[in-house]
Structure 1
Amino acid sequence: MRLTLRTNLAMRTLMFCAVNNDRTVRKAEVAKACNASENHLAHVIVILSQLGVIQTTRGRNGGLRLARPAEEIDIGEVIRALEGTVPFAECFEGAENHCPIVDHCRLRGVLANAVEAFYKALDGIALSELTQSNPGLIAVLGMNSVEQAFPRIC
């Protein structure tokens, strides 16, 4: 199983916001720190906002921040919301399924159980568990590190 780029960027964005929870961060800062394009990140930010895990503010002093404490953001819920619509295999695609053995294949049930086990392993893991007491992550995503690596141009 492999997470989509969208989900990967969503998780990086949430971790960036959690590490820099004391301030509103800008999309450009997140993009630089997370090695992502601002355009792709913009789509991810919209989705995270719709899920209610980040809040965005427009304007000169705008940006994004966590909508609730990192302890209350469940990683399983976020990843399920982002990945749940992506079929794991052709036989999960409904009308787009053209597999000739789907009615007799036992692999589909096994895969469905494996996917559910994957999500269950993530359920109950709070964003804070990924970021708190993680000095390496803080060194990479903390604003002091980002500003040193990518100074603002005035």
Structure 2
Amino acid sequence: MRLAEYTDYTLRVLMYCAARPQQLVTISELAQHHGVSRNHLMKIVNDLARQGVLATTRGRGGGLRLLKDPTGLRIGDVVRASETDFRLVECFDPDSNQCTLSPTCRLKGVFNTALSAYFRELDSMTLADIVAPVSAQAVGGHALPPLGAVTPVAAPRSLRKLAGKAMSGE
């Protein structure tokens, strides 16, 4: 499953803001740091503000900041709010399903189980879990924390097993 670019940048905006809790962040700063158009980021920021996740201040000296505590903002909730389609295969949508195997196929169940495991893992992580605050010294240079500051989390065994089978063609 691949996240939409919109979701990817939504997570980046939130992570960038969470790493700078005492600083107002500007759209221009985000655009420059991530190499994304201001217009694209403005849509994301407006959506996050409408959802009550970000506070925005217009004008000179304005910017944006997190409204929600990063320890209470679950990554699964962010992904659900940002993604528009979780139909992994055609049969997930009964209105457009044309698959002739549907009556006997168990693949939909496998994908449902995998999707549930995916969200269970995302729901176990908060924004605070995936971001370390930037040191005061680094804030001026807008550097993100080193990769070692965030501990990678292994996928659940069931997903690793499923991925292994998919790679081997089973």
| Residue 44 of structure 2 is aligned to residue 18 of structure 1 | no
Q: CA RMSD in A?
A: 2.2
Aligned pair count reads 141
Match of 2:141 among 116, 129, 145: 145
Equivalents in 2 of 1:106, 1:96: separation in Å? 18
Normalised by the size of structure 1, how large is the TM-score?
Answer: 0.79
Normalised by the size of structure 2, how large is the TM-score?
Answer: 0.72
Kindly provide the CA deviation profile for residues 32-51 of structure 1, in whole angstroms up to 9, marking residues without a partner as x.
11221212212221222233
- Percent pairwise identity: 35
Kindly provide the CA deviation profile for residues 89-122 of structure 1, in whole angstroms up to 9, marking residues without a partner as x.
2222342333332333210111011011001011
Which structure has the larger Rg over C-alpha atoms? 2
Moved more, 84-93 or 22-31: 84-93
Structure 2: 5+ residue stretches without partners: 144-170
CA contact (8 A) 1:7 1:83 kept: yes
Moved more, 12-21 or 46-55: 46-55
Runs (4+) off by over 6 Å: none
| Residue 109 of structure 2 is aligned to residue 109 of structure 1 | yes
Deviation of 1:4 after TM superposition, in Å, equals: 1.0
CA contact (8 A) 1:13 1:34 kept: no
Matches of residues 3-42 of structure 1 in structure 2 within 5 Å? Answer: 3-42=3-42
Name the counterpart of 1:76: 76
Equivalents in 1 of 2:42, 2:94: separation in Å? 30
Deviation of 1:68 after TM superposition, in Å, equals: 1.6
Higher relative contact order (CA 8 A, sep 6+): 1
CA contact (8 A) 1:75 1:127 kept: yes
